[in-house]
Amino acid sequence: MARKFIVVLGGGISGYGSAILAKKEGFDVLLSDMGKIAPQYRERLDEWGVEYEEGGHSTERILTASEVVKSPGIPDKAPIVVALRERGVPVISEMEFACRYMGKAKTICITGSNGKTTTTSLIYKIMRDSGAKVSLGGNIGESFAYSVATGEYDWYVLELSSFQLDGMFRFKADIAVLMNITPDHLDRYDYSFEKYAASKMRITQNQTSRDYFIYSADDDMILRQIEGAEIKAKELPFMVHSAIASGAGDAYLVEEGEAVATVGKRTMRIDTSRLQIKGIHNTYNAMAAVLATMAAGVECEQIERSLYDFSAIEHRLEPVGEFGGVLYINDSKATNVDSVWYALESMTRPTVWIAGGTDKGNDYTPLYDFAKRSVHTLVCMGVDNEKLERSFAGIVPNIISCHTFEEAMRAASGAAKSGDVVLLSPACASFDLFRSYEHRGREFKQWVLDNVKR
């Protein structure tokens, strides 16, 4: 009997891990990438004897695959994906593929338009500090599939994008966390907010009464989705403004500076003034992480130690330094309007705001009030800035259009005065000028250190 032929599309962190896991499990494997595969991934593929191609697809061969594992960055409208679906070849995500081989391990899965990276990182820290054998994967950390192939873990903490959820069918989250649903990536969902929201709700699929579903009860779109859904898992809502009771537990703000989380018969108080991560958005992140780790069985005393020890993550409202009285903040991970809303909301000083990139169908009107309050200069950084310029004309006094990173940084630095903040918070994807939001954030930090710090 012929061995199953697995094709992996995309040679990034998701793809190389999937290909190695498929090889380990005894399948015939081909990894195919339209672009170049990074040297560190090629090296690991060579170590495992995985066949790969780059710079184009062997279409006819790929169409003979038993199953295809698609990397999340490849859209469903890509010609090779359309051809596979027309041929009836199953197309799944790395998560769907890897979960088949993870044994008795359990998963904590986090999704949402904003806050998921901070929440995922905090959950991982609490679990790791508790002594659990835990792996970090999905959108951050190591490839989930590679971790399954090369290690043995009790827990996988996974940050999941809507694109990954779209390719998951039998996968089940033991603990599912949904931070919020706000407009993002609408270009991949026919500019339909409802389709995007439905994609996020896939985090609850296949859950049973033994599982947990943790969600923001302050998010109207989540509440609308829950009304029409059959949620079997135990619900653990967290909230600052709402008051929704759940028999399984919840988390809520008692008063400014104090929140309470309850799971079953256990209750834990959260002193938000002791959090190193500041702002109301981080109160939400902390409540979600506490509920998730309580549900996973971690002792409250351990959660408390790790919670107050946790500091800001790279590229999310990350202070680079203050030079000549100007504070530079790297918020490159803010790739949508809602993320920037939180960033501008937290600004307490006059602000030079750097924004722009690949627009994802953004509606900028929610930012107007905060932009009027604190932003005196908007530096547009992108190949096409017309929409940003039009949106903020009359809202921000000074708008500067730049088409290169260097030009934007010099404009922002020149517009800033002592007492100001220069905030990189783009509201857009990075792919017009950068490889990724991480690349954009690191370039920003390096430029500041090379050109401003004296």
DSSP state of 202: G
Judged on CB neighbours under 10 Å (0-12, 13-18, 19+), 54 is: middle
pLDDT for the residue 171: 93
pLDDT at 52 over 70: yes
Q: With cut-offs at 50, 70 and 90, classify the pLDDT of residue 303.
A: very high
Both tokens of 155, joined, read 């827990």
Helix (H, G, I), strand (E, B) or coil at 426: coil
Both tokens of 39, joined, read 């040297």
Q: Do 390 and 440 meet the contact criterion of CB atoms below 8 Å apart?
A: no
Distances (CA, A) of 21 to 16, 243, 373, 412: 9, 45, 51, 46
**Phi, psi of 449, deg, nearest 5:** -70, -35
Q: Do 58 and 33 meet the contact criterion of CB atoms below 8 Å apart?
A: no
Q: Of 107, 105, 125, which is closest to residue 177 (Cα–Cα)?
A: 107
What angle, rounded to 10 degrees, do the helices at 280-295 and 300-309 form? 150
pLDDT for the residue 453: 63
User: Cβ of 255: how many Cβ atoms within 10 Å?
Assistant: 6
Task: Give the mean model confidence (pLDDT) for residues 77-105.
Answer: 94
Task: Give the mean model confidence (pLDDT) for residues 25-49.
Answer: 93
Max intra-chain CA distance, the chain: 73
What's the Rg (C-alpha) of the chain?
Answer: 22
350-373 b/e with 16+ CB inside 10 Å = b? ebbbbbbbbbbbbebebbeebbee
| CATH homologous superfamily for the domain 5-92 | NAD(P)-binding Rossmann-like Domain (3.40.50.720)
What is the distance between the alpha carbons of residues 67 and 6, in angstroms, rounded to a whole number? 5
User: Cβ of 243: how many Cβ atoms within 10 Å?
Assistant: 9
pLDDT tens digit sequence for 340-381:
887 887 787 899 999 998 887 788 988 998 899 999 999 999
pLDDT tens digit sequence for 140-183:
888 999 999 999 999 999 999 888 888 888 999 999 999 988 76
pLDDT for the residue 428: 86
Both tokens of 191, joined, read 């500019």
pLDDT for the residue 309: 92
Share of the chain residues as helix, strand and coil, in percent rounded to the nearest 5: 40, 25, 40
Q: Do 394 and 371 meet the contact criterion of CB atoms below 8 Å apart?
A: no
Question: What's the topology of domain 96-309?
Answer: UDP-N-acetylmuramoyl-L-alanine:D-glutamate ligase (3.40.1190)
pLDDT tens digit sequence for 402-421:
989 999 999 999 999 998 99
Distances (CA, A) of 78 to 53, 396, 435: 18, 38, 19
Question: What's the topology of domain 318-451?
Answer: Protein-Tyrosine Phosphatase; Chain A (3.90.190)
pLDDT at 19 over 70: yes
pLDDT for the residue 315: 81
Q: With cut-offs at 50, 70 and 90, classify the pLDDT of residue 188.
A: low
pLDDT at 185 over 60: no
Helix (H, G, I), strand (E, B) or coil at 355: strand
Q: With cut-offs at 50, 70 and 90, classify the pLDDT of residue 98.
A: very high
Q: With cut-offs at 50, 70 and 90, classify the pLDDT of residue 189.
A: low
What is the distance between the alpha carbons of residues 338 and 113, in angstroms, rounded to a whole number? 8
Q: Do 174 and 151 meet the contact criterion of CB atoms below 8 Å apart?
A: no
Question: Considering the chain, what percentage of its residues have pLDDT values greater than 90?
Answer: 62
What is the distance between the alpha carbons of residues 328 and 6, in angstroms, rounded to a whole number? 47
pLDDT for the residue 454: 53
User: Cβ of 47: how many Cβ atoms within 10 Å?
Assistant: 9
Contacts of 314 (CB under 8 A, 6+ apart): 330, 438, 441
pLDDT for the residue 186: 62
pLDDT for the residue 379: 97
Task: Give the mean model confidence (pLDDT) for residues 75-83.
Answer: 91
Average pLDDT score over the chain: 90
Q: Do 213 and 234 meet the contact criterion of CB atoms below 8 Å apart?
A: yes
pLDDT tens digit sequence for 217-244:
998 889 989 987 889 999 999 998 876 7
Task: Give the mean model confidence (pLDDT) for residues 235-260.
Answer: 84
Would you kindly state where each structural domain of the chain is located, as residue ranges? 5-92, 96-309, 318-451
Element (H, E) at 67: strand 67-70
DSSP state of 367: G
Distances (CA, A) of 101 to 189, 304, 433: 30, 33, 38
pLDDT at 1 over 60: no
